[in-house]
Structure 1
């Protein structure tokens, strides 16, 4: 009987450990802000996908989830802010260099790679809810871009990933180096 109890306790512990590890490997970010039609949401990411869906109302909702196996999620900072022009800038910034993220993308100084050479495999998966009439300019280096339900101009850029983008009210400009592109738009630019 004692052996059976020890086996049951061991099995319960073995099942609890993977659950605890999975919880440690997920780090979420949420941000909400108002934006006027005609303004732009800029989304910048280095490692991970960006998914954009239509929103109701005039509020941009940003959700981001960090995922990793070996890396340190504290090395990646996620920011979202309203610019002085009324646009919204969303960035995932990897620590290790003097990195700046703005409407034009990333710029940095320093000799380290953006992963800091430490097996940093942290990825950030963005989901952004885009209001009607708001433009989108989204880019990632290593990840897919998916845009559904946009009603204004869309710019989507990735280096290593596919793009699927649709806009009912503006041109769609999509560029990738290593991936497929599928676009549906009122006008294509």
Structure 2
């Protein structure tokens, strides 16, 4: 890593507010003069956006967990090649709404013990972890109510119900303990501005030593 180049991700259960926080952080960093790419998963490149429609819409049982892992990995590979790696090579800050940690949870944990398979494919095809992961921790019932209140077409995972959200919250917190060097846990059960201030402070602390190199 050199200059201001930084790859950071937002993670959390559905309705945790991570997408809003990713957008606000991008605006804050751009206002401070940083060159920022704001992207998302699944998606973030033309091919990956096509796969997004396949995995986020339709019946909850549309795909098996194993098929989902392959689809998400394919989308991530295209996203990495066409968006993330070129931006980092140009010295930009990349902010991504979800990355491999979501696949470790939603496919690797939620519908069977497939975490090892997720990690094997990640090691084979992706081979990159974020420099910093911001986990927006949210009460599962509140998060699900927020997510369902959006009334959009991409509700396939929300339709699995509250039990999934509770398991995902625990799983994300366990991931934060597994990867303490890159995870920072932020209390999302507060107003948007309070969360955004904490997010900005953590990111600025991360950027300070990079700007001195």
Fold shared, TM-score > 0.5 on shorter chain: no
Say which structure is richer in strand. Answer: 1
Q: Larger C-alpha radius of gyration, 1 or 2?
A: 1
Query: TM-score normalized by structure 2?
Result: 0.29
TM-score (norm 1): 0.31
**Structure with the bigger percentage of helix:** 2
